[in-house]
Structures are given as structure tokens and as C-alpha cells.
Structure 1
Amino acid sequence: MLKDKCFKKVWRILKEFKELCKFRGWRTAESEDWVETGDRYHSFLLAKSIHPSSFRSIVTNRKCVIREGLTYHVVEASYIAWLFSETPPKDVVSICLENPEFSKKIAIYDLSPIAKGKNACLKFNYTDSPIFREFEDFLEKEFGIKVEELLSPTLAEIS
């Protein structure tokens, strides 16, 4: 039950963040979770968990579905942020550490502490995405959620 509440809260946070993005003049979609700035798409994927092989496939292909009216097309997502409502599998972070290109394009946010009543989020974000930085600021300012590094900077540098 608590985990379902966490998933719903993460969903609400993302929905409110997309509203802020619209206010800032960035393009978003009602039914998909992406933000467009210039010619770059910043995709948000909300998940409870994921199998490492599925994660690897998604981050390798970095596709984003865009709906315009009644038509759909697929674009390459410049960046992908994973919002996990449960602690992500360790292999997911390892996949990003093993491939420096993934670390530049993929952010991971572990929002599972919310299920335990904590206002905390663990992040793995070494991208240069201004949208993801804005998301982190939004978590702290609007929800009082403290965003902390998932890994120590030293460990991330070694990989």
C-alpha cells in the first residue's frame, strides 16, 4: 500500500513539474512524459522497477514517442531521467557506470525513501541537462525533498 502511495506521489510530482515547464515556455505533452527545449527532448520514465536487460535496451536506443494531434512519431531522446518509486536494481546503476556515454545522457532518481515517510531522493545525474537540474530544484523547493548523491563523487569518477 505504501509503495502505491509513493508511485502516485511521484506521478503527481512529475505532473506538477511539467506544468512548471509549460510556464517556463518549454513544450510538454499531456499524455507523454517529456520536455522539449530547442531541438532536445528530455524524457522522464516513471517505474517501480526494471529488469537490467530492459534498462540497457531502453538507454541504448533512447527513443521518445511524440504525439501531435492524431499522429505519432519517434524521436531520439537527448536525455532520459528514470524516476523509480522503489529502489532501483544495483545493476541499473552499474550499467551507467560501465558506459560513460550512458552517464552523460541518463539520470536515475530513487524516490523510494518517500514510501518510508522521508523527504529524500537519491540521484545519479552526471548529465548536462538543464531540465533535470530544474527538476532537482523543483523537488527541493516545491516538495521539500532533499536530493542527495546516490554514489559518492569519488566512486563515480573511478568508473
Structure 2
Amino acid sequence: MASLTLKNTALILGSMLIGGALTAALYARWAPTHSAAPAAEQQRKVLFWYDPMYPNTRFDKPGKSPFMDMDLVPKYADEEHAAAGAPGVRIDPTQTQNLGVKTVAVTRGPLRYAQTFPANISYNEYQYVIMQARAAGFINKVYPLTVGDK
């Protein structure tokens, strides 16, 4: 019985070692190389550095922000929205597609709202304010204010 347990343990341990070696070999072969990304990052031209919490303030050199003690973020020349003075509103195309935004040309003209809605307009019968004047006398009868009052 002990030899059967030892054989099972050796079989499980051996298969785990072989599986781990195969996983490491496949990962080393198909893993993306990280050496090309920093070279492409260095070739981009930095326009200025800015604080993400205060994007309107610009700095010439990288470092810490004087406002929030955060690292400054570079603004690159090839970024699509790098021109801060560009007029208009920019919406990310993926957000436009997700929201179903449709754009049309602006036209000038009168607004025509000819819509009719059914409605009942009435006052709230329970929000009466009754002012009582002090007078000498007796009340003979109290009339109901609304339907359901006794």
C-alpha cells in the first residue's frame, strides 16, 4: 500500500514538473518583447509637461507638481487633441458609438412645439388653510370639505 502511494505521489510530482517546464517554455517563446516599446516612446516629441489635476498649467521639464506632489505627465505632439486652442467639443469615437450620438448640421429657424398632452389640473383639496376668527357663538353644523369627509 505504501509503494502505491509513493508511486502516485511521484507520478503527480513528475507531471507537475513537466507541465511547469512546458508552460515556462511556451511563455518565453510567445511573450511580447518589451524592448521595442521604450524606443518608440523616446522617439515621440514632448510638447510640454502638465499636472493631471491642473491640466491648464504647463511645465517645460518633467518632475513633481508643485500643487499635488504628483509626477508631471507629458503631452506629445502626435496626440490627437494636443491643440488646446482648437474650437469645439471633442468626443471619443467609442463613446459616440456607445451612446448612439448623431450629429447634424446646425440650422437657424423658429422652434415649433405644437404638442398636446392630456392633463387634469386641479387644486389639492387637502391643503386648505382655514383661518379661524375668534367670535362668541356656537357651531351648529360642520360641512365636509372633500369627498370622504364626515
What range is the shorter-chain TM-score in? Answer: under 0.3
TM-score in terms of structure 1 length: 0.18
Q: Which structure's relative contact order is higher, taking Cα pairs within 8 Å and 6+ residues apart?
A: 1
Question: Bigger radius of gyration, 1 or 2?
Answer: 2
TM-score in terms of structure 2 length: 0.19
Q: Give the helix-richer structure, 1 or 2.
A: 1
Q: Give the strand-richer structure, 1 or 2.
A: 1
